[in-house]
Chains A and B, each alone.
Chain A
Amino acid sequence: MNPVLASLKSVGVIRNGRWLIQGISLSIRKGEIISLIGPNGSGKTTVARVLSGSIAPDSGSVSRADGIRIGYVPQRLVIDSTLPMTVRRLMNMNEKFDTAEIEQVLDEMKVLKSADQPVQELSGGEFQRVIFARALLRKPDLLLLDEPSQGLDFRGEIKLYNQIVDIRDRLNCGILLVCHNLHMVMAKTDSVICINSHICCAGTPVNVVNDEAFEDLFGPEAARSHALYRHQHDHTHLPDGSVRSV
């Protein structure tokens, strides 16, 4: 089995007297893709931030392998208009890279033509790809992607999923993929974790390649890249946040 890159042990984060996440345990290994799903406000981003180190857990513990390089692509990033910044300069923000390397990764993400443009002039989708390219450029051991597919159409999502698998194969990195879709996940996901402040259920996605109805609806391409995730929760959530088993 591949070595563990990062793991959470019954991690909880409390803000303003409310537990954003509680008792979350998971670990990501090298070359493994984990999809993290859950409704809005369920704490998916919080989990990603604890893994990245920007939030310290209030209970439990987080551990990261020594000296691992983390690439973090936040859900939304706005660069203040007062900060002059070209795409090229942004790529070199924290460490210096070769021009050839930068252009190659920008090309891969189809944003090479914007290399010398101010980032504020890019469209939302283009900018998101630039941020993605930045994270890739660092050749991370652990890649944290917070809802990278939001704002994409179905075609765009298929392309993105293929790209993510490709990245995993090339860099042999661990990937945490935060998704907004509760039932459809990336087919090549090794495991799916469904959270709603705590872990509701976890498992592997069910292949939809042979699901004819799905193939009829979205085409064979979609069936290869997407997979179903069937939940089996043994509990319900009450309005006050407490959990009742059924």
Chain B
Amino acid sequence: MTIEIFDDFVSRALIAGVGFAIIAGPLGCLVVWQRLAYFGDSMAHSALLGVALALVFDFNILIGVFTVCFLVALIVGRIGEKSTLSGDSTLGVLSHSTLALGLVLVSLMYWIRVDLLHFLFGNILAVSWSEILTLYGCGAVIMFVLIRRWNNMISLTVNEQIATAENMQPVKNRFLMMVLLAAIVAFAMKIVGIILTVSLLIIPAAAARQFAKTPEQMAVLASVFGAIAVILGLTLSVEFDTPPGPSIVVNASGIFIIGIIATTIMRKRKKWSS
């Protein structure tokens, strides 16, 4: 009986985690290519503000987080164009202000017991079937949009002027990318938590970079590496009773390091043989 319950929540966590990793692969690549890691961090940090607002006004937390992340993306875009501050300072101000504001708001709500740790570090083992359904539903939409607009995304990554001249509408598609990023951040909060959100986007992508020759290879490999990290991480977590979110990230980092060692050896051998 106990084993059945145990199995059930682990398999739910696996299904949710692997599904997330698959979507995070190509999006993580876009974050790496466009140097948006810090930007993603700001979005993730602002997620707690979304949680607080959702609790106050009593609506779905995912929607709250998505909305706030999206607004942050808009504000960053606007300020970035006009501000005399450097990009990373702007992000730093926004990122930590929203996190602090979220923390303050959540603690002010004495009438609701909120386990902050769940939001900060995720609680994938408590994921429900309905949440999985939402994740896969939204994930399918995200994937569909990404595949349809993939060339536009690559084009705006390479050069915005060329993309404009060739009618690839970089401005519109950058906006679309921000929407997708906000969505993935909202889901990531459940899986690895606010603090580690960006790691699950960029570490598999960074590991994939070393093996990939084209953008598409990198995107697919990033999904595969992410999925492996989720499976290994959850196994580790169940086996040794470690927190699942950080365990997943530790495994992703492990894959990254093995990747570096493997490619270095491969390159050395190639040199020797040629």
Contact = CB atoms under 8 A, between A and B. Distances in A.
Interface string A183-194: 000000000000
Interface residues of A, number: 25
A74 B158 contact: no
Contacts of A84: 209, 212-215, 217-218
Size category of the binding interface on chain B: 20 to 34
Contacts of A86: 213-214
B60 interface: no
Nearest to B154: A93
A85 B214 contact: yes
Interface of B: 32-35, 151, 154-155, 157-166, 168, 209, 212-215, 217-218
A77 B166 contact: no
Contacts of A40: none
Contacts of B168: 94
Interface SS majority for chain B = helix
A52 B165 contact: yes
A62 B159 CA distance: 22
A49 B33 contact: no
Interface in A89-141: 89-90, 93-95, 118, 138
A77 B159 contact: yes
B89 to A, nearest CB: 19
Nearest to B84: A16
A80 interface: yes
B225 to A, nearest CB: 15
Interface string A140-174: 00001000000000000000000000000000000
Nearest to A81: B209
Nearest to A49: B161
B5 to A, nearest CB: 43
